[in-house]
């Protein structure tokens, strides 16, 4: 019997079908429950596709990665899965990834900060981070998270989000990754959304297709050592971030640093976001 294929699903919410603004995702919004349900259904579609692929599949882990990581309806998820929830976590959107997985899926993802007309575009923290460069190139959450998976030899297989995200990941991941366009971005808080059921059907189909070709997928990595540049949202945040050992401030809102690998970068990024949250609450 062939070796079982374990799958890691990193979930965010901005890129799901049927939502166009953060207003809908505030916990006190009447729309939040609807957004959570659509999100849960999109993840379920991916799970069904994995299991209906005809391949020998094993563990499926879902990393709930929007805000505090408490979005998905656990009792409505397909059974037999593991769910990573809550915060803080050292590797946040990818916590738990390891060499035991054969592929990673990104469901509900969004474009990087500064992408024109992309829905709710940002990179890790819209309130704290203006943009991020790695080795001289602007990057978003998809690329950072795929590189973290790549550290363990795990390739990206499926990405679902708006059309601007899909255009972005094509430049980094190439044509081998399966994609699902959930909506067309009109502006940061407006979109032309596909019907959620249509999106879910496509996710299920594409998920199965990915599992059937995992051996052909390519791992994504950044060259090491990594040179990182982060533009922060305010000088106050930068005042705090420059206190991190190894981080050099080069302007009012800019810091740079070098790290040996993506794991070290990710831990610094998490700390930057935490310090940003502290500064914004001051």
Tell me the residue range of the domain where 50 lies: 5-121+141-216
Q: What is the CATH number of the domain that holds 37?
A: 3.40.50.10780
pLDDT level of residue 1 (50, 70, 90 thresholds): low
| DSSP, residue by residue, the chain | -PPPEEEEEEE-STTSTT--SGGGGSTTSTTHHHHHHHHHHHHHHHHHHHHTSSS-EEEEEEEE-STTT--S-GGGSPSS-EEE-SS--TTGGGTT--TT-SEEEEEEE-PPTT-TT-TT--SS-TTTEEEEEETTEE--HHHHHHHHHHHTTPPEEEEEE-HHHHHHHHHHH-TTSEEEE-EEEEETTEEEEPPHHHHHHHHHHHHHHHHTTGGG-------SSEEEEEEES-HHHHHHHTTSTT-EE-SSSEEEEEESSHHHHHHHHHHHHHHHHHHHH-
pLDDT tens per residue, range 173-184: 988 999 999 999
Query: Is residue 264 in some structural domain?
Result: no
pLDDT, one tens digit per residue, over 134-193 is 999 999 999 999 999 999 999 999 999 999 999 999 999 988 999 999 999 999 999 999
Rounded to the nearest integer, the mean pLDDT of the chain is 97
Among the listed ranges 76-80, 171-175, 194-198, which one has the minimum average pLDDT value?
171-175
* 161 domain-assigned: yes
145 domain residue, yes or no: yes
Asked if residue 206 belongs to a domain, the reply is: yes
Average pLDDT over residues 112-116: 98
Is 229 a member of any domain? no
pLDDT (0 to 100) of residue 191 = 98
Predicted pLDDT of residue 210: 98
Residue 253 lies in a domain: no
Q: Is residue 2 predicted with pLDDT exceeding 80?
A: no
Q: What is the number of structural domains in the chain?
A: 1
Residue 53 has pLDDT above 70, yes or no: yes
Question: In the structure, what pLDDT confidence band is assigned to residue 282 with cuts at 50, 70 and 90?
Answer: confident
| Residue 128: inside a domain | no
**What global pTM score does this model have?**
0.97
Q: Residue 27: inside a domain, yes or no?
A: yes
């Amino acid at each position: 019997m062939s070796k079982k294929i374990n799958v890691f699903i990193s979930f965010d919410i901005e890129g799901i079908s049927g939502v166009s603004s953060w207003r809908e995702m505030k916990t006190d919004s009447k729309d939040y429950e609807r957004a959570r349900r659509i999100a849960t259904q999109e993840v379920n579609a991916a799970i069904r596709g994995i299991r209906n692929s005809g391949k020998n599949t094993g563990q499926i882990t879902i990393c709930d990665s929007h805000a505090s990581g408490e979005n998905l309806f656990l009792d409505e998820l397909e059974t037999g899965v593991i769910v990573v929830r809550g915060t803080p976590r050292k590797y946040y959107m990818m916590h738990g990834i390891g060499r035991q997985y054969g592929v990673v899926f990104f469901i509900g993802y969004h474009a990087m900060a500064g992408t024109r007309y992309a829905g709710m575009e940002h990179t890790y923290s819209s309130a704290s981070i203006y943009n991020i460069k790695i080795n001289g190139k602007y990057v978003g959450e998809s690329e950072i998270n795929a590189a973290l998976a790549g550290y363990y030899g795990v390739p990206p297989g499926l990405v679902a989000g708006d059309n601007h995200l899909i255009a972005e990941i094509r430049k980094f991941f190439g044509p081998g990754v399966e994609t699902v366009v959930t909506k067309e971005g009109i502006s940061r808080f407006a979109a032309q959304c596909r019907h959620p059921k249509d999106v879910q059907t496509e996710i299920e189909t594409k998920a199965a297709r990915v599992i059937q070709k995992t051996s052909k997928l390519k791992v994504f990595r950044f060259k090491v050592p990594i040179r990182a540049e982060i533009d922060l949202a305010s000088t106050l945040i930068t005042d705090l971030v420059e206190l991190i050992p190894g981080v050099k401030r080069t302007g009012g809102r800019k810091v740079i640093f070098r790290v040996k690998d993506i794991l070290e970068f990710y831990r610094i990024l998490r700390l930057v976001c935490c310090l940003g949250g502290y500064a914004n609450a001051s």
